[in-house]
């Protein structure tokens, strides 16, 4: 600390009406809005900080990280300046502002911080023409629950001023402590720049068998792997954990330099966008492939020759093989959780293990109560996210290391493990069709009319004939979740049609971005007979899709000929 104390200013502002956080996903908008609209970011940061009770906020510790996307450095500086002015005592920030979402959750829990602010728009594109986001995680390390998000939104609608120290400057590149003397503050404001990987790596060492994984990657029967960080936050983690710690050759990792625009690519680990990895795996040289999204909480698994493991299958297979993981051998298996749209493959595993399954709305925040109460210690979503109660976030690298642990224990390839699982439990054919960038009013009316149709009593028992297939409606509803811990009710979380053969159709609006709407259509069909396990998912599901399009009229009402993305 040098010179005179840094002044704390109060800046007048006016509220914006569109700063409702999308549940645990935080506020996600076009970067141009954050960058160009006067006080747009400070308004939301002040609303987040003001949502923390004043007694809890004064002198507390918070964690700040980003996925490195465009505008992150400017936004980090603003967050620091405002945290200081609002009485936060200490900030823990990753070097160069970089921290994966799982690492933020890890550090919050490790140091018992009051919460964390993550600057990310998850798997959305970056750059000036991309998206930016601000996510708030609470003291348990998990995404803000709806009651907190609602409080933030209410504050944002009436905000008149924000507090900031505009002259406060930090060096994000320099590891260690930096202290600042502020006007009218009795204690200095402290910023600690930490290695983005170390604390998280130490946790992984305690929950996984690193020796077994290292033997797999370096031993005489070395498994050749290919891991794509997609120019997001995971580059330093992949290098330090998989290469430096576990011995994978340096050239196993690609696209490991975090870039503000993710190299002009969409940092979304699926078959549509992770094409560099997919092409490399199709060559047959590598036995295991993985990709991560921008902030490191989502992942994709590929086997040799590009064999794709769907997220729902990945979750079920991990559940069936938890005995390979030291953490679960020690802690036991208390329960599983999945989002409602995720396939029911997990349910069949749970039934065989006599373990309860909790079906929740989409959004990781709903798992936190279950894990905090000890009801559940493995959770997953069809949107390429899996995690356990070692954190309160989905954790892409943890899931990849779990897969490597299973391969090491079973001494089988990815494809062999998946096919063995199908032979034992049956195969759940599954696809998600995303209609992105739609007019919100159009999607509202589509969902309103669909709900009226499918929840009418006369819809039960209706039969739909498509080719040689006849589907009979057994059950329909507008999904609603009652939290078994606190009784909180969450309504209108998607429309479900369940047929007599257990096939499912689901329609759901995504709330991750408030500018344009995304309508998601999910289809699932179960096949017990092993002779039917080698079909293309879209071919198997085409009769269901035909029914969905007929009753929803999506193409006619949106002018679209097909979905934007199929996963």
Please, where are the H alpha helices in 37-91? 40-50, 54-57, 72-85
> What average pLDDT does the segment 332-342 reach?
97
Decide if pLDDT at 445 tops 90. Answer: yes
Q: How many CB atoms lie within 10 A of CB 200?
A: 28
Which is catalytic among the residues 122, 312, 314, 339? 122
- Distance, CA of 477 to CA of 279 (rounded, Å): 41
Q: Give per-residue pLDDT as tens, 194-240.
A: 999 999 999 999 999 999 999 999 978 899 999 999 999 999 999 99
Ordered by start, the domain boundaries in the chain are 9-194, 200-425, 427-566
Q: Give per-residue pLDDT as tens, 42-99.
A: 999 999 999 999 999 999 999 999 999 999 999 999 999 999 999 999 999 999 999 9
Degrees (nearest 5) of the Cα angle 377, 380, 386?
85
Enumerate residues 6+ apart whose C-beta is below 8 A from 261.
69, 70, 125, 126, 127, 130
Beta strands in 416-543, from DSSP E residues, in sequence order: 427-438, 463-466, 469-478, 481-482, 489-490, 495-499, 504-510, 517-527
Q: What is the per-residue pLDDT for 514?
A: 56
- pTM higher than 0.85 for the full model? yes
**Using 50, 70 and 90 to split pLDDT, how confident is the model at 9?**
very high
Degrees (nearest 5) of the Cα angle 139, 144, 149?
135
**Using 50, 70 and 90 to split pLDDT, how confident is the model at 481?**
very high
Q: Give per-residue pLDDT as tens, 493-503.
A: 999 999 999 99
Among the listed residues 333, 307, 330, 310, the one whose alpha carbon sits nearest the alpha carbon of residue 320: 333
First to last CA, the chain: 53
- The owner of tokens 């490991």 is 256
- Higher confidence at residue 469 or residue 317? 317
In the predicted model, what is the mean pLDDT of the chain?
A: 95
Q: Give per-residue pLDDT as tens, 390-415.
A: 999 999 999 999 999 999 999 999 99
**Using 50, 70 and 90 to split pLDDT, how confident is the model at 186?**
confident
Residue 503 appears among annotated catalytic residues: no
How far is the CA of 496 from the CAs of 11, 441, 452, 460, 503, in angstroms? 48, 21, 12, 12, 11
Strand order in the sheet with 378-381: 357-360, 336-339, 378-381, 385-388
**Using 50, 70 and 90 to split pLDDT, how confident is the model at 22?**
confident
Q: Give per-residue pLDDT as tens, 127-141.
A: 999 999 999 999 999
Among the listed residues 53, 97, 51, 99, the one whose alpha carbon sits nearest the alpha carbon of residue 76: 97
Asked if 260 and 277 touch (Cβ cutoff 8 Å), the reply is no
Least confident of 230-244, 329-343, 511-525: 511-525
Q: What is the per-residue pLDDT for 402?
A: 98
Q: Which CATH architecture has domain 9-194?
A: 3-Layer(aba) Sandwich (3.40)
Decide if pLDDT at 1 tops 70. Answer: no
**CATH dotted code for 200-425:** 3.40.120.10
- Distance, CA of 463 to CA of 444 (rounded, Å): 26
Tell me, what DSSP letter sits at residue 257? S
Instruction: Kindly report the CATH class assigned to 427-566.
Output: alpha beta
- Distance, CA of 73 to CA of 90 (rounded, Å): 19
Domains 9-194 and 200-425 agree in fold: yes
Q: What is the per-residue pLDDT for 14?
A: 98
**Directed axis angle between helix 311-320 and helix 396-410, to 10°?**
50
Among the listed residues 290, 202, 299, 195, the one whose alpha carbon sits nearest the alpha carbon of residue 245: 202
């Amino acid at each position: 600390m040098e010179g005179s104390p840094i002044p704390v200013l109060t800046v007048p502002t006016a509220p914006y009406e569109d700063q409702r956080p999308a549940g645990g996903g935080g506020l996600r908008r076009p970067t141009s809005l954050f960058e160009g609209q006067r006080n747009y970011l400070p308004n939301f940061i002040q609303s987040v900080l003001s949502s923390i009770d004043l007694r809890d906020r004064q002198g507390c510790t918070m964690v700040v990280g980003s996925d490195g996307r465009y505008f992150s450095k400017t936004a980090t500086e603003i967050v620091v300046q405002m945290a200081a002015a609002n009485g936060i005592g200490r900030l823990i920030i990753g070097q160069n502002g970089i921290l994966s979402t799982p690492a933020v959750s890890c550090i919050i829990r490790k140091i018992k911080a009051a919460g964390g602010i993550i600057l990310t728009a998850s798997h959305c594109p970056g750059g000036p023409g991309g998206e930016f986001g601000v996510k708030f995680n609470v003291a348990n390390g998990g995404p803000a629950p709806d009651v907190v998000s609602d409080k933030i939104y209410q504050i944002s609608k009436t905000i008149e001023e924000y507090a900031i120290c505009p002259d406060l400057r930090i060096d994000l590149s320099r590891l260690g402590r930096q202290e600042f003397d502020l006007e009218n503050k009795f204690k200095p404001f402290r910023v600690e720049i930490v290695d983005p990987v170390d604390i998280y790596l130490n946790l992984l060492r305690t929950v996984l068998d690193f020796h077994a994984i290292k033997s797999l990657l370096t031993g005489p029967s070395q498994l050749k792997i290919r891991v794509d960080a997609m120019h997001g936050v995971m580059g330093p983690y992949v290098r330090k954990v998989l290469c430096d710690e576990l011995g994978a050759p340096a050239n196993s990792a690609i696209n490991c330099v975090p870039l503000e625009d993710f190299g002009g690519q969409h940092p979304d680990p699926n078959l549509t966008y992770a094409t560099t990895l997919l092409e490399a795996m199709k060559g047959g040289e590598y036995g295991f492939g993985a990709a991560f999204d921008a902030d490191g909480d989502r992942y994709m698994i590929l086997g040799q020759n590009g064999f794709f493991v769907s997220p729902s299958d990945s979750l079920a297979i991990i559940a069936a093989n938890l005995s390979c993981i030291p953490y679960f051998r020690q802690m036991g298996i208390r329960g599983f959780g999945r989002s409602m749209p995720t396939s029911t493959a997990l349910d069949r595993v749970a039934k065989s293990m006599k373990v309860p399954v909790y079906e929740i709305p989409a959004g990781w925040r709903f798992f936190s109560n279950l894990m905090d109460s000890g009801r559940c210690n493995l959770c997953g979503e069809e949107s390429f996210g899996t995690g356990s109660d070692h954190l309160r976030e989905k954790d892409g690298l943890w899931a990849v290391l779990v897969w490597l642990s299973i391969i090491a224990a079973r001494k089988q390839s990815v494809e062999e493990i998946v096919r063995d699982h199908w032979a034992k439990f049956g195969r759940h054919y599954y696809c998600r069709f995303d209609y992105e960038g739609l007019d919100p009013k159009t999607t509202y009316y589509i969902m309103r009319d669909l709900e009226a149709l499918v929840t009418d009593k006369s819809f039960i028992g209706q039969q739909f004939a498509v080719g040689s297939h006849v589907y009979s409606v057994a059950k329909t509803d507008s999904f609603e979740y009652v939290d078994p811990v606190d009784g909180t009710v969450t309504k209108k979380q998607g429309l479900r049609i369940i047929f007599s053969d257990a096939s499912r159709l689901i329609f759901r609006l995504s709330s991750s971005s408030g500018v344009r709407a995304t309508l998601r259509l999910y289809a699932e069909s179960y096949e017990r007979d092993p002779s039917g396990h080698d079909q293309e998912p879209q071919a198997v599901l085409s009769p269901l899709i035909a029914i969905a399009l007929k009753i929803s009229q999506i193409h006619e009402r949106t002018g679209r000929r097909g979905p934007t993305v199929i996963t």
